[in-house]
Amino acid sequence: MDIACREVVELVTDYLEGELPAPRREAVEEHLRECPACVRYVEQMRMTIAAAGQVRPESLSPATRDGLVSAFRDLIGGEGPRQ
């Protein structure tokens, strides 16, 4: 099963969380063996997830928190978490 870079981007979260079915995971890993750009992208996502996991909500200013909540709501079409 060949996949393109665009599919790797779409599947990266499930891939990193170990949620892909075996054939799809194997296809992603095969693509990563041949695509240095996607390897960099996956590593950047790993670092972003690790960094985001270290941010405590109380460490954010109210303006930063409100901006993030607003961006999240925009991303998912206005249905973000309620304060």
> Cα separation of 15 and 5, whole Å?
14
Neighbours of 31 (CB within 10 A): 20
The pLDDT of residue 78 is 53
pTM of the model: 0.65
Residue range 5-63, pLDDT digits in tens: 999 999 999 999 999 999 999 999 999 999 999 999 999 999 988 887 777 878 889 99
Task: Identify whether the C-beta of residue 40 lies closer than 8 Å to the C-beta of residue 13.
Answer: no
CB 38 within 8 A of CB 5: yes
Residue-range domain boundaries for the chain? 5-75
